[in-house]
Amino acid sequence: MKLFDTHCHLDAQYFPGGPTEVLDRAKTAGIRAFMVVGVGATLEPARAAVALASSRGDVVAAVGAHPHDAVTLDEAGERELRELGARDAVAAIGEIGLDYHYDHSPREVQRSVFARLVRLARELGKPIVVHTREAADDTLAILDGEGAREVGGIIHCFSEDEKFARRALELGFDLSFSGIVTFKNARSVAAVAASAPVDRIHVETDSPYLAPVPLRGKPCEPAYVVHTARRVAELRKTTIEELAPILWANAERRLRRAFA
Ligand SMILES: [Zn+2]
Ligand SMILES: [Zn+2]
């Protein structure tokens, strides 16, 4: 069995020992491919994710500007993102989107940066990784209005309801489930994980956050995605052994990559 962690952050601030030991532990647990997301208040995490993905055959990068950091993206940053995003090692543009829960950046700045980076993804012909929190309608309106359907992508760390899921799927976006799906109170997320089309779902850790049950509360790392995959399989009344090859194929198809 092999699994794909479609969304993890391995920045040095989270894993001071460096990414190699974290990825080695994950490999031992059967996680064979990773999308490392490089976002932050500077482009340093994006550069690091691209460097890591360029040096390993089992890692691809996503680069973007998280809605928290939208206010920090200046013209020079956007130029560098375009240059980084064009690299072969970069499989997706993200995570980008809207976060009205924390409002770390003003909402109108979040919307403007999100729209511009959807256009960048279309220009580069790469799928989009979307972060959305308490901003469902605006997120879907921008994806629709900016023609995101042309490249499609992934709604990462899915935490919305069935109505949102339907609209996202129609716009060409897959749904990626994090440790949240293992939490007892996440009923609507579990319902979507149980019923979404099997060829449109993924699993991720979003390391270092949101460790799945039974590791909830610990710092999360890619090795733990196995617990999330097992829970999704259980919700779908199948086994992780049956589901894993489908999830693997879904990630390869969506990210237009093939991994060993
Ligand atoms: Zn996110
Ligand atoms: Zn993330």
Question: How much is the pLDDT for 38?
Answer: 98
C-alpha closest to that of 66 among 255, 221, 206, 253: 206
Query: Global pTM?
Result: 0.97
Average pLDDT per 10 consecutive residues for the chain, totaling 260 residues? 97 95 97 98 98 97 98 97 98 98 97 98 98 98 98 98 98 98 96 98 96 94 98 98 98 93
Which 3 state secondary structure label does DSSP give 203? strand
Q: How far is the CA of 131 from the centre of ligand 1 (A)?
A: 5
Q: Model confidence over 156-183: pLDDT tens digits? A: 999 999 999 999 999 999 999 999 999 9
Q: How far is the CA of 148 from the centre of ligand 1 (A)?
A: 18
In whole angstroms, give the CA distance from residue 224 to residue 237.
21
Q: How far is the CA of 247 from the centre of ligand 1 (A)?
A: 20
Q: How far is the CA of 124 from the centre of ligand 2 (A)?
A: 21
Report the largest interatomic distance among the alpha carbons of the chain, rounded to a whole angstrom.
Answer: 49
Q: How far is the CA of 7 from the centre of ligand 2 (A)?
A: 6
Question: How much is the pLDDT for 145?
Answer: 98
Instruction: Identify the nearest ligand to the CA of 39 by its number.
Output: 2
In whole angstroms, give the CA distance from residue 86 to residue 173.
21
Q: How far is the CA of 95 from the centre of ligand 1 (A)?
A: 6
Bridge-based pairing of strands 128-133 and 153-155 is parallel
In whole angstroms, give the CA distance from residue 175 to residue 167.
11
